[in-house]
Structure 1
Amino acid sequence: MEVYIVTVATGTKAYAGTNNYIYVTLVGENGESERTLLDKHGLDLCRGAEDRYKVVSRTPLGSPLLVRLEKQRYWMEDNWFCRFVTVEPPNGEQLLTFPCYRWFVGDVMVEIREGAAKIQSDDSSALLRAHRRKELEDRQKIYRWMTWAPSIPRCIDAQTESDLPQDERFDNEKRSDFEYALQFALLELSLKKLAISFGKTWDDLEDFKRIFWKLRSPISEYCMAHWKEDCFFGYQCLNGSNPRMIRMCKTLPVNFPVTASMVQSSFPARTNLDKELKAGNIFLLDYVIMDGIPSNTIKGQPQYIAAPLCLLYQHPDHGLMPIAIQLGQIPGLDTPIFLPKDPSLAWLLAKMWVRHSEFQVFQVLSHLLRTHLVVEVFFVATLRQLPAVHPVYKLLAPHQRYTLEINCRGRNQLISADGIFKRVVSTGGDGLLILAQREYKDLTYRSLQPCLDFTDRGVSQLPNYFYREHGLMLWEAIHRFVSGMVSLYYQSDKDVHQDAELQAWIRDVTQEGFAELPNFGLPSELRSKGELSTLLAVIIFISTVQHAASNNGQFDWCAWVPNTPCTMRQPPPTDKDAVTIEEIMATLPDVSQSCVQMAITWHLGRAQPDAIHLGHYTEEHFTEGRAKELIGTFTKDLKEIEDYILSQNEGRELPYLFLLPSRVENSITI
């Protein structure tokens, strides 16, 4: 008879413990142990507990391969979250750890494997090979593809978040905080509208201060004070919520007829537009993707959209400065080119229109499409095609926490036909989907790789481009970490190419998730360690760094509504000399729209109280010493980046801390 000491760890989440029956059976290469009932006295398996038991086998098991856990209802259903199980074999053999990290809902039986990551070829045991197949067969029944709308990435088959498996749902603490914070923001919104209703409506730009209450931040206050300045406008093109729109301009677009004489006053003496174009100091924002997008109608009133072009100059003394703006793609008498030397209100309104387009592009394309929806494809494929023992599954698991639920909520509450965007955003409704479809049609895998993206846009040398500098530092740290992990489990390119599970995964990504994107540029077959390492680094970078860059500052840049208006209530101006403050106030969002913009950007951009930050692994999916060493090195690299960013920003009036590793979440949770 053999006696094993088994430790069962219950989760630390609220309601993770259970009073249901839990049974354990050890499955070895030579047989099975007795089926053992845990918690005989009803006091074990509590939240955060690690309970020890003796499990007996009447015949030698050999090496334990699986731990079988069963939950059966006792009086009433009581879900249970298991973190891990450890098994101490007889005769002092090495302690074995079996990671679990999943909910047990209903009467279920789950078999979990020892924590050493294994690719399919590592398993010689028929039992373990069968376990891999069965796990994937079961998961593919649960995790299915769905087309939410045509010509955008496919997603998880769930109409609402309640349709998701429990393992993909918010924890109770997260759900309570999410819903409480939203109600708090909406309550303040209601109080502001009530207070303003007893006073005047918008008459002047200063009136927006009347909704600048408790919901504020140091950067939003800086924005309120400096938003009219051209240098601040240029700074936001580099380090705002949409920092990857700008690109070098070597030749002016034919539909943007800016002449040297128009902009000469923006240049120092002894230089001009032609010289600066050749020197690589002229940059462009082109919102052609907005051209022809149908605009929203809110409370019976039409809203308006523009497709601006904005030319910027990297001034040697003042930094990046806007020097010309055209508010449409077709030049003409009704589409004048606005210049800094024009009447101040005309120039200010032109910049507002650019920032209004910026709101649409950053929210719908940079944020929603290029982070949330893109990574969902990879995570659905991971759940469908990779068993929990696979090293790629283990590597990606921490980065998909809550993502499926927040995306379900976004589709239903934010961008749906009757969602929040429909209520307050100029592209709400049909426009939003058409905008996303346009971007998706031209989306490339190359553009998701930051080092290539900066090169392609010609911005590798732009000074004070902190998003680029910090983003590349984090990209390199992530890529080093991932490359080390890949080399730990794949000895050669051939091993990658012959991993049938990995190849099924990439086919699911390209042929199912991105099925309508033939020019995406990601092959349906992985042939080398380098290809795999880069792809995994891209997935992790998007779900951490890129999301933080777009999401975390949205309240800072949007709380002062005139700086980044969510909608415009009048068409773009056609006469530069006729712009008045009355026209500006009639164009900007009204009181209700402004309040909703403040509330929602605060709710979505605020720091999450249960955040797990980049490089922190609260669930130990990897148990091998070498893998843990690589995680430790990654953590050390992130600490060095953290120290550098803090040192760089010390004393700055306008610090850039959005990519501070301690502020970058490990997954998209909001």
Structure 2
Amino acid sequence: MRKLTSLNAEDDALFDLSFDWGESLGVPGALIVRNQHHSQTYLPAETLEPLLFYRQQELVSLRGTGSGMLKEWDRVYDYAYYSDLGMPEKGHQYARPVLGGRTIPTLVEQEPNIPILKVIVPEVKALLDKTINEFDTFEDIIRLYEGGVKLPDSHYSHSLKKIRQCVPWELVRELIRSEGEHFLKFPVPVVIKGDKTVWRTDEEFGREMLAGVNPVVIQRLQEFPPRSKLDLGQYGDQDSRITREHLHTNMNGLTVDEAIEKNKMFILDHHDALMPYLRRINTTTTKTYATRTILLLQGDGTLKPLAIELSFPHENGDALGAISQVFTPCDHGVGNAIWQLAKAYVAVSDSGYHPLISHWYIHIAYIHNFDATMMDVFISVCRLNTHAVIEPFVIATNRQLSTLHPIHKLLKPHFRDTIHINALARQILINAGGVLEITVFPARYAMEMSSFVYRNWNFTEQALPVDLIKRGVAVPDESHPYGLKLLIEDYPFAVDGLEVWNAIEAWDKPWLPKMETRAELIEACTIVIWVASALHAAVNFGQYPYAGYLPNRPTLQTLLGVSLIEILSRHSRDEIYLGQRDNPEWTNDELALEAFDRFRAALVEIEKRIRERNEDKTLKNRYGLVEVPYMLLYPNTSDYSREGGLTGKGIPNSISI
């Protein structure tokens, strides 16, 4: 490349470029020239006059026209419904409703892709037939980790080869790897690495609600009996059938009313989320229950399960309410076996709820026209908790904020690879007949059910302090750190999460543009970064450690389910963790660089405090009988080894798996 003499004005320059091109490649349809020296940011009002036109035109180009089918080479960020999940051409059993709008809310990016699922699923089903998904004893399951499952014949090897050729992403191809004569020899999940039986204890059952793979659902019980919020006219009486008599023998001398007054009663409630879909689910080969679990906070900070309620729709119609049965703890004989089975159904409910609600969805906000004096954030409707809701932030940021904008610079690292992994999920995981539908109990109703749950979702409630207060596990108290008093003091997700949340918020404050609504802007950016980084880490990377052992978190397709969560729990070798940057020269703004240095130092200090808490044996929920320290919100900022794998720790900058 060489710079030629200016043709027009003193500040203009013309560059002559030359490069090699093979004739076999044909005539290029377009060329994209990228300027990698983009460390300077400008608010619109501060943009250099010669750049204003190009800044505006770039955004016009990225928004597209909103019509026509997008081509592979189009650089367009646009919105669309989830209209490509079904495959009705294969038969009515593959038809799925369009997800989006007010009826079944959701929103996604870009146009449908050609699903490689059409090739993969038949081969997956050929590999994972019902014979090798059935186990007669716990010892049979243990053999998955000690010896693997042998391939019965050459057809299986052929299927493996065909799948590997179709899956485009190297990390996901690990899902269908084979080792010698075995198909999928799994690493031992940490939940059974020490003792192979303590996962069954009531202590571990309660602990995982605070420090397991889904620690974001438990609530404080504030009225008894628990009441349903489902429409009485449509679903009848769905209130709990748990009585005081069910609980009193295990209350440690307290009455129910005393325990509620002292903030010691808690509930894991999956009833209302599941009940509207149970009748349809139970007409298939899958059978399950809606569940409620009531727990007591004990003096040592642990949770003790008191009762489990299993419910299903009345056989004569939804309007007649629920048919429910209540089970209480028993430590011997047939009663113990029944109690263990009741806990297993709670695990089934939570295992279905986790990937559909806690993990897949979060929220979508349409960020419109940031400028130096105002910010409009339009909250729209999408899925819950992490993957799908970050998509609209990616789209809105690229449509509305120039790459020159400081907010674009702030958020960009937290959008890395998210659109790519979600597009792959639409082809492999969440399609009709896809991996998700054949592993979790809602099956074909999985995605529709998650959209139903989303109706009550609110963006501002995704701020961790607000979420903890809403669930009743914390109350405002300025005398405590971060202005919150945790009612379960040994709540690893909340304790570590609040430290990370505070570090993110402090990182946002110093260098964001000054504007009338600056506090709201800081809060909004903190929520986006929290969701894309720490919240996703908390509900994603613990999947294999806890759910890799099938009886602890049951799925329908055992081998496929375990294979899937093993991959989803892996950190990639090129992972960039919170407090790290892929380019040290990402900005020349000294104020931003100083703020980032403080942010990184704060995260390293959080790492130290997490290690110290994990060594404190009085904090029983951090370690448990399974002896698994809580590391899911350990930032891993200080680690530049790029080793990856099933580390069980580390907060990546973005949702990239």
The normalised TM-score by structure 1 is: 0.69
Distance across 2 between alignment mates of 1:334 and 1:319: 31
What secondary structure is seen at the aligned counterpart in 2 of 1:308? strand
Q: Does the alignment pair 1:261 with 2:248?
A: no
Instruction: Say which of 523, 528, 531 aligns to 2:520.
Output: 531
Q: Does the alignment pair 1:158 with 2:111?
A: yes
Specify the code of the residue in structure 2 equivalent to 1:645. Answer: I
Structure that is richer in strand per residue: 1
Specify the code of the residue in structure 1 equivalent to 2:57. Answer: K
Instruction: Say which of 279, 282, 297 aligns to 2:265.
Output: 282
**CA displacement at 1:112 relative to structure 2:** 6.9
Instruction: Say which of 292, 297, 305 aligns to 1:322.
Output: 305
| Contact 1:193 1:595 (8 Å CA) reproduced | no
Match of 2:628 in 1: 654
Show CA shifts across 1:185-215 (max 9, x none). x89x96x989x86xx9533334321223432
Q: Does the alignment pair 1:384 with 2:399?
A: yes
Match of 1:596 in 2: 560
Match of 2:488 in 1: 462
Show CA shifts across 1:388-433 (max 9, x none). 110011111111110001011112210110210222221121x112
Q: Does the alignment pair 1:352 with 2:344?
A: yes
Match of 1:170 in 2: none
| Contact 1:658 1:664 (8 Å CA) reproduced | yes
| Contact 1:220 1:555 (8 Å CA) reproduced | no
| Contact 1:293 1:434 (8 Å CA) reproduced | no
| Mapping of residues 258-657 of structure 1, within 5 Å | 258-269=242-253, 271-287=254-270, 288-293=272-277, 302-317=285-300, 319-328=302-311, 335-341=324-330, 343-369=335-361, 370-429=385-444, 431-460=445-474, 461-486=487-512, 489-490=513-514, 492-493=515-516, 528-567=517-556, 593-619=557-583, 620-650=585-615, 652=623, 653-657=627-631
Instruction: Say which of 65, 74, 77 aligns to 1:143.
Output: 77
Specify the code of the residue in structure 2 equivalent to 1:132. Answer: R
Match of 2:209 in 1: 237
C-alpha change, 1:646 and 1:228, in structure 2 (3 Å) is same
**CA displacement at 1:364 relative to structure 2:** 0.3
| Mapping of residues 163-178 of structure 1, within 5 Å | none
| Contact 1:283 1:313 (8 Å CA) reproduced | yes
Distance across 1 between alignment mates of 2:608 and 2:59: 42
**CA displacement at 1:111 relative to structure 2:** 5.8
Match of 1:506 in 2: none
Match of 1:108 in 2: 32
| Contact 1:355 1:564 (8 Å CA) reproduced | yes
Specify the code of the residue in structure 2 equivalent to 1:657. Answer: M
Match of 2:187 in 1: 215
Distance across 1 between alignment mates of 2:350 and 2:252: 29
**CA displacement at 1:281 relative to structure 2:** 0.2
**CA displacement at 1:119 relative to structure 2:** 0.6
Distance across 2 between alignment mates of 1:485 and 1:413: 40
C-alpha change, 1:403 and 1:201, in structure 2 (3 Å) is closer
Instruction: Say which of 42, 46, 60 aligns to 1:122.
Output: 46
Show CA shifts across 1:466-514 (max 9, x none). 000111100000011111121xx32x41xxxxxxxxxxxxxxxxxxxxx
Residue-pair matches, total: 503
Show CA shifts across 1:429-449 (max 9, x none). 1x1122111122111113211
Distance across 1 between alignment mates of 2:3 and 2:348: 59
C-alpha change, 1:297 and 1:596, in structure 2 (3 Å) is farther
Instruction: Say which of 55, 76, 89 aligns to 1:132.
Output: 55
C-alpha change, 1:400 and 1:318, in structure 2 (3 Å) is closer
What secondary structure is seen at the aligned counterpart in 2 of 1:418? coil
Match of 1:9 in 2: none
C-alpha change, 1:114 and 1:380, in structure 2 (3 Å) is closer
What secondary structure is seen at the aligned counterpart in 1 of 2:461? helix
| Contact 1:649 1:656 (8 Å CA) reproduced | yes
The range that moved more, 256-265 or 470-479, is 256-265
The range that moved more, 228-237 or 641-650, is 641-650
C-alpha change, 1:445 and 1:655, in structure 2 (3 Å) is same
Match of 2:376 in 1: none
| Contact 1:296 1:303 (8 Å CA) reproduced | no
Instruction: Give unpaired runs (5+ residues) of structure 1.
Output: 1-21, 39-70, 79-103, 164-181, 494-527, 568-592
Distance across 2 between alignment mates of 1:347 and 1:26: 83
C-alpha change, 1:290 and 1:114, in structure 2 (3 Å) is closer
Specify the code of the residue in structure 1 equivalent to 2:51. Answer: L
Show CA shifts across 1:536-573 (max 9, x none). 01000000000000100011111111111124xxxxxx
Q: Percent of counterpart pairs with the same letter?
A: 24
Distance across 1 between alignment mates of 2:510 and 2:143: 53
Show CA shifts across 1:215-273 (max 9, x none). 2232353584312100101001111121111111121225223333322221223x222
The range that moved more, 105-114 or 227-236, is 105-114
C-alpha change, 1:463 and 1:105, in structure 2 (3 Å) is farther
C-alpha change, 1:110 and 1:289, in structure 2 (3 Å) is same
Distance across 2 between alignment mates of 1:414 and 1:250: 38
Q: Does the alignment pair 1:203 with 2:190?
A: no
What secondary structure is seen at the aligned counterpart in 2 of 1:354? helix
**CA displacement at 1:296 relative to structure 2:** 8.2
What secondary structure is seen at the aligned counterpart in 2 of 1:283? strand
Distance across 2 between alignment mates of 1:665 and 1:161: 29
Distance across 2 between alignment mates of 1:361 and 1:626: 43
What secondary structure is seen at the aligned counterpart in 1 of 2:507? helix
Specify the code of the residue in structure 1 equivalent to 2:257. Answer: D
C-alpha change, 1:246 and 1:25, in structure 2 (3 Å) is farther
Specify the code of the residue in structure 2 equivalent to 1:604. Answer: L
Specify the code of the residue in structure 1 equivalent to 2:501. Answer: W
| Contact 2:492 2:630 (8 Å CA) reproduced | yes
C-alpha change, 1:258 and 1:23, in structure 2 (3 Å) is farther
What secondary structure is seen at the aligned counterpart in 1 of 2:578? coil
Distance across 2 between alignment mates of 1:227 and 1:202: 18
Distance across 2 between alignment mates of 1:333 and 1:406: 39
Distance across 2 between alignment mates of 1:223 and 1:437: 39
What secondary structure is seen at the aligned counterpart in 2 of 1:422? coil
Distance across 2 between alignment mates of 1:227 and 1:257: 28
What secondary structure is seen at the aligned counterpart in 1 of 2:551? helix
In angstroms, what is the RMSD of aligned CA positions? 3.3
C-alpha change, 1:162 and 1:559, in structure 2 (3 Å) is closer
What secondary structure is seen at the aligned counterpart in 2 of 1:623? coil
| Contact 2:301 2:489 (8 Å CA) reproduced | no
**CA displacement at 1:357 relative to structure 2:** 0.5
Specify the code of the residue in structure 2 equivalent to 1:316. Answer: G
| Contact 2:275 2:313 (8 Å CA) reproduced | no
C-alpha change, 1:451 and 1:294, in structure 2 (3 Å) is same
Specify the code of the residue in structure 2 equivalent to 1:464. Answer: D
Distance across 1 between alignment mates of 2:136 and 2:499: 46
Distance across 2 between alignment mates of 1:552 and 1:243: 13
C-alpha change, 1:222 and 1:237, in structure 2 (3 Å) is farther
Distance across 2 between alignment mates of 1:219 and 1:563: 9
Show CA shifts across 1:568-611 (max 9, x none). xxxxxxxxxxxxxxxxxxxxxxxxx2111111110111122221
